[in-house]
C-alpha cells in the first residue's frame, strides 16, 4: 500500500510553487487543519490588508474625491485597468475586452441579455445544461421570460459534463445564445471550450462562457477560442475576498454591436457632463453601469499579481497533481466504505476540484468542519475537494482525507 504521507512530503519538497503558500494569511491557531475550498472562497494574502490600508489612508483618506479623476491610476479607470490585469493573468484575452464590475450574476444577466437582444430575427432559443450553476439557470429563465425565448436544456451527466456532441445535437437556426460553465461546479468537468465555441458559431449563435471555476485554476484562452462573451468570479481561485466584484469579457469586434440593458451613468460617454439621454461609452466601458467598487478591487489586484508571478501553466500543473493525488487516496480505500469519485478521471477533462460521493457526507461534513478540515458539500451526497494550487499543500490533502477516512471507518 502506498504511504501517502511520505508521498505528499516528497511532492511538497519538490513543488516549485510551495513558496507561495507563505504569502497567505495563516488561520488563527487551532482554527484550521486543511482548507479544501479554494474553489468557493480563496484565502487572503498577507499583502491584502496593507494594500487596503494604503487605499484607506492614501487615495481615499487623503486625496478623497480627487482620486476618481486624478493621480496615476484614477479610480474611474479601474474597471478596465483591473479587467486587463485579470485578462492577462487568467483569461488569455488581449487588452480592452474585460471589465471588473457588479457580481457574476448581474454581469451574466447584462451580457446574456445583450446577446439575446442582438440575435437575428427567428433566433429565439437559449441553450444551457441541467447541471449549470443555479444562478446561471435562474438568470436565463428570467431572460427567456422577458424576451419570449425558449430554453433548450442539455441533460448533463452529473459525474461528467457537456460534450461537443450534445451541443451539436441542440444548436441550429433558432439558437440565439449558448451559456455553459467551462469547469462544472459539481463534477469539475472541463469542457472543450474551443470546439464547443466553434460549433455554436457554425450554428450562428453567441457563446458565453461562465469561468467562475476556471479563472486562476485552469488556462483559459478567450481570444484563441474566439468566444463572444464570458463572465466569472474573482473570490474563488483569484482570492479577491467574499463578494469581490466579477469580471466580464466582450470580444472587441462585438462591443459596438451589443447593448447591455442596465444603462447607467458610469457606462455613458462623458459621464460627468450628466447630459440628457444615454449614449454608450466607447469600447468595453459601456458594460459598466454604476460607480465602480474600488475597495473590492484592491484584493483582486493582489491575487492577480501573485498569479502573474506564479504563471497559470505552473498552477495548472500542480492542480492536476493535487487532484490526481486526492483521487489516488480515495481509490486506495476499501470498496465497502462505498465512496465513489464523481469527477472525470481523465486529468485533461478535469478542472481544479474533485467531488467524491457517499450517502453520509452531509452529516460527516459537520464533523470535518468542527475539526478544521474544510471541503464543502453539494447535493446529492457530494463532498467537493477544491484544491487551490497556490495555497494548498499535498500534505494538507492527505491529512484531510485521513481525517475523513477515520469518520468513514467509525461509521461502519
> Which residues make Cβ contacts (< 8 Å) with residue 76, sequence separation at least 6?
68, 69, 292
CA 168 to chain centre: 25
Number of Cβ within 10 Å of residue 242's Cβ equals 10
Catalytic site residue 24? Answer: no
* Closest approach of ligand PLP to the CB of residue 401, in Å: 23
* Closest approach of ligand PLP to the CB of residue 144, in Å: 18
List the one residue from 33, 103, 264, 399 that touches ligand PLP (CB under 6 A). 103
List the one residue from 104, 187, 319, 343 that touches ligand PLP (CB under 6 A). 104
**Active-site residue identified among 110, 236, 251, 301:** 236
Per-residue mark of binding to ligand PLP, 228-247 (x: CB under 6 A): -----x--------------
- Select the span of 72-80, 208-216, 324-332, 388-396 touching ligand PLP (CB under 6 A): 208-216
List the one residue from 84, 210, 228, 376 that touches ligand PLP (CB under 6 A). 210
> Which residues make Cβ contacts (< 8 Å) with residue 331, sequence separation at least 6?
341
Task: Please give the biggest Cα pair distance in the chain.
Answer: 74
Residue closer to ligand PLP (CB basis): 376 or 396: 376
Site for ligand PLP in 52-81 (CB under 6 A): none
- Position 181 contacts ligand PLP (CB under 6 A): yes
List the one residue from 17, 162, 212, 383 that touches ligand PLP (CB under 6 A). 212
**Active-site residue identified among 20, 35, 185, 235:** 235
Q: 391 with 18: CB under 8 angstroms?
A: no
- Position 131 contacts ligand PLP (CB under 6 A): no
Peptide bond connecting 33 to the previous residue in cis, omega within 30 degrees of 0: no
**Active-site residue identified among 43, 285, 318, 384:** 384
List the one residue from 35, 109, 133, 189 that touches ligand PLP (CB under 6 A). 133
* Closest approach of ligand PLP to the CB of residue 367, in Å: 25
Per-residue mark of binding to ligand PLP, 310-339 (x: CB under 6 A): ------------------------------
141 by Cβ neighbours in 10 Å (0-12 / 13-18 / 19+) ranks as: middle
**236 vs 41, 126, 189, 349, CA distance in Å?**
5, 27, 17, 20
Catalytic site residue 278? Answer: no
CA 256-247-231 angle, 5° bins: 75
Phi-psi category of 221—alpha, beta or left, where left has phi over 0 and alpha has psi -120 to 50?
A: beta
Q: DSSP characters for 100-161? A: EES-HHHHHHHHHHHHHHHSPTT--EEEEETTS-HHHHHHHHHHHHHHT-EEEEE---TTS-
All three cell numbers of 38, joined, read 479554494
Q: DSSP characters for 304-351? A: HHHHHHH-HHHHHHHHHHHHHHHHHHHHTS-GGG--EE-S-SSGGGB-
Catalytic site residue 124? Answer: no
List the one residue from 9, 88, 135, 151 that touches ligand PLP (CB under 6 A). 135
- Position 168 contacts ligand PLP (CB under 6 A): no
Residue closer to ligand PLP (CB basis): 192 or 210: 210
Catalytic site residue 235? Answer: yes
- Select the span of 89-97, 102-110, 350-358, 362-370 touching ligand PLP (CB under 6 A): 102-110
**45 vs 23, 140, 241, 400, CA distance in Å?**
6, 35, 10, 22
- Select the span of 43-51, 91-99, 206-214, 310-318 touching ligand PLP (CB under 6 A): 206-214
Q: Tell me how many residues contact ligand PLP (CB under 6 A).
A: 12
- Position 353 contacts ligand PLP (CB under 6 A): no
What is the rounded distance in angstroms from the CA atom of residue 15 to the CA atom of residue 46? 21
Binding residues (CB under 6 A) for ligand PLP: these are: 103-105, 133, 135-136, 181, 185, 210, 212-213, 233
Active site residues: 133, 210, 235-236, 384
Amino acid at each position: 500500500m502506498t504511504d501517502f504521507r511520505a508521498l505528499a512530503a516528497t511532492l511538497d519538497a519538490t513543488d516549485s510553487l510551495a513558496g507561495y503558500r507563505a504569502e497567505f494569511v495563516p488561520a488563527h491557531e487551532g482554527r484550521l487543519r486543511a482548507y479544501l475550498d479554494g474553489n468557493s472562497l480563496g484565502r487572503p494574502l498577507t499583502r491584502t490588508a496593507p494594500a487596503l490600508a494604503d487605499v484607506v489612508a492614501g487615495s481615499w483618506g487623503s486625496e478623497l474625491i480627487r482620486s476618481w479623476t486624478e493621480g496615476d491610476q484614477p479610480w474611474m479607470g479601474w474597471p478596465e485597468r483591473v479587467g486587463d490585469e485579470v485578462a492577462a493573468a487568467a483569461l488569455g484575452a488581449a487588452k480592452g475586452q474585460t471589465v471588473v464590475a457588479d457580481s457574476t450574476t448581474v454581469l451574466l444577466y447584462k451580457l446574456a441579455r445583450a446577446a439575446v437582444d442582438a440575435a437575428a430575427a427567428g433566433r429565439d432559443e437559449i441553450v444551457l445544461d441541467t447541471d449549470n450553476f443555479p444562478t446561471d439557470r435562474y438568470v436565463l429563465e428570467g431572460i427567456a421570460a422577458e424576451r419570449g425565448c425558449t430554453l433548450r436544456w442539455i441533460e448533463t451527466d452529473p459525474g461528467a459534463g457537456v460534450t461537443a456532441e450534445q451541443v451539436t445535437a441542440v444548436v441550429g437556426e433558432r439558437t440565439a445564445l449558448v451559456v455553459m460553465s467551462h469547469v462544472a461546479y459539481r463534477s469539475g468537468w472541463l469542457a472543450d471550450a474551443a470546439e464547443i465555441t466553434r460549433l455554436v458559431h457554425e450554428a450562428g449563435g453567441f457563446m458565453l462562457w461562465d469561468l467562475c471555476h476556471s479563472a486562476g485554476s485552469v488556462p483559459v484562452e478567450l481570444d484563441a477560442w474566439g468566444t463572444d462573451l464570458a463572465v466569472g468570479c474573482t473570490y474563488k481561485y483569484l482570492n479577491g475576498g467574499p463578494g469581490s466584484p466579477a469580471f466580464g469579457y466582450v470580444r472587441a469586434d462585438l462591443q459596438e454591436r451589443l447593448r447591455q440593458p442596465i444603462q447607467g451613468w458610469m457606462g455613458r460617454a462623458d459621464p460627468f457632463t450628466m447630459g440628457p439621454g444615454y449614449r454608450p461609452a466607447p469600447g468595453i466601458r459601456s458594460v459598466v453601469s454604476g460607480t465602480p467598487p474600488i475597495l473590492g478591487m484592491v484584493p483582486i489586484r493582489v491575487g492577480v499579481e501573485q498569479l502573474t508571478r506564479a504563471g497559470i501553466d505552473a498552477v495548472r500543473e500542480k492542480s492536476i497533481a493535487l487532484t490526481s493525488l486526492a483521487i489516488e487516496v480515495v481509490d486506495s480505500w476499501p470498496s465497502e466504505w462505498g465512496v465513489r469519485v464523481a469527477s472525470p478521471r481523465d486529468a485533461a477533462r478535469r478542472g481544479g476540484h474533485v467531488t467524491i460521493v457517499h450517502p453520509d457526507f452531509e452529516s460527516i461534513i459537520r464533523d470535518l468542519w468542527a475539526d478544521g478540515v474544510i471541503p464543502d458539500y453539494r447535493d446529492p451526497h457530494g463532498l467537493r475537494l477544491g484544491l487551490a494550487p497556490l495555497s494548498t499543500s499535498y500534505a494538507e490533502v492527505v491529512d484531510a482525507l485521513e481525517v475523513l477516512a477515520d469518520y468513514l471507518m467509525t461509521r461502519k
